[in-house]
């Protein structure tokens, strides 16, 4: 690949990122609602439970790390968060003994309580294990937030709040989810 082609790819990726990030402005109200849900959950001494698959699993771990550790401020308390994507023993046991669609639902059965906030990430909006987890939470009347790409049809009826990114490009969706998580972390750190 020549230098010109590489530069074209670099520019294309940057401009795609900028266009999608600019479109997030329409999500300001949802982002505000999301941060308020996080604040209410923590103030009531409940926990935040987050999960996703693949790159979204990594993003959910990243978000949990910044809540339990720090985002920018070192002198704040650790916030109550659990990332279900980290528990590889439970994930593989549930997938082996039951089925992969239940890896998050089965974990939630044992730990989620009224007042907790469950956050699931799915760039496709149709991951069966995410859908099963949200169905379970709806039955239990647990607050839920779904971070999705453009497809919100399947999860719309199971979630309290959906934050969707208007893109079909997985990488752009994930970058946007992380931006929103970082915004939420900065707001939370002003309280705790």
CATH value at residue 66: 3.40.50.10490
3-state helix, strand, coil in the chain (%, to 5): 60, 10, 30
Name the one residue in this structure whose structure tokens are 């795609």: 16
Q: Does the pLDDT at position 39 exceed 80?
A: yes
Average pLDDT, stretch 61-83? 95
| β-bridge pairing 143-148 and 161-164 | parallel
Counted domains in the chain: 1
Which tokens in the block code for residue 102?
Answer: 């239940």
Report DSSP state, residue 5.
H
Output the pLDDT for position 85.
98
Instruction: Tell how far CA 147 is from the center of its chain.
Output: 5
Report DSSP state, residue 126.
-
Q: Does the pLDDT at position 25 exceed 90?
A: no
At 74, the pLDDT band (50, 70, 90 cuts) reads confident
Strand partners, 148: 122, 164
> Please, what is the Cα angle at 179 between 21 and 6, to 5 degrees?
60
Closest CA to 181 of 56, 76, 12: 56
Contact 17, 172 (CB under 8 A): yes
Q: Specify the pTM.
A: 0.95
Burial class (CB in 10 A: 0-12, 13-18, 19+), 117: buried
Segment (H or E) for 177: helix 170-189
Phi and psi dihedrals of 147, rounded to 5?
Answer: -100, 115
Output the pLDDT for position 27.
77
Lowest mean pLDDT among 18-22, 118-122, 180-184: 18-22
Name the one residue in this structure whose structure tokens are 């989810």: 177
- Residue 105's domain comprises 3-189
Output the pLDDT for position 94.
98
Residues 116-161 pLDDT 10s:
999 999 999 999 999 999 999 999 999 999 999 998 889 999 999 9
Where do the H-state alpha helices sit in 24-169?
Answer: 28-43, 55-68, 88-97, 103-111, 128-140
Output the pLDDT for position 152.
87
Output the pLDDT for position 26.
82
> Please, what is the Cα angle at 50 between 48 and 54, to 5 degrees?
170
């Amino acid at each position: 690949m020549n230098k010109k082609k590489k530069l074209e790819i670099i520019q294309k990726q940057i401009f795609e990122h900028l266009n999608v990030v600019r479109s997030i402005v329409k999500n300001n109200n949802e982002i505000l609602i999301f941060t308020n849900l996080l604040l209410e959950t923590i103030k009531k001494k409940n926990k935040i439970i987050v999960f996703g698959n693949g790159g979204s699993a990594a993003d959910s771990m990243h978000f949990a790390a910044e809540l339990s550790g720090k985002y920018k401020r070192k002198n704040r308390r650790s916030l109550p968060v659990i990332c279900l994507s980290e528990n590889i023993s439970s994930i593989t046991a549930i997938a082996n003994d039951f089925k992969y669609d239940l890896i998050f639902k089965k974990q939630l059965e044992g730990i989620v309580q009224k007042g907790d906030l469950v956050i699931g990430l799915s760039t496709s909006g149709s991951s069966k294990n995410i859908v099963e987890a949200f169905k379970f939470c709806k039955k239990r009347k647990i607050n839920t937030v779904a971070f999705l790409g453009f497809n919100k049809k399947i999860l719309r009826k199971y979630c309290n709040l959906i934050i969707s990114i208007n893109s079909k490009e997985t990488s752009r969706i994930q970058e946007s989810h992380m931006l929103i998580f970082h915004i939420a972390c900065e707001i939370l750190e002003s309280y705790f």
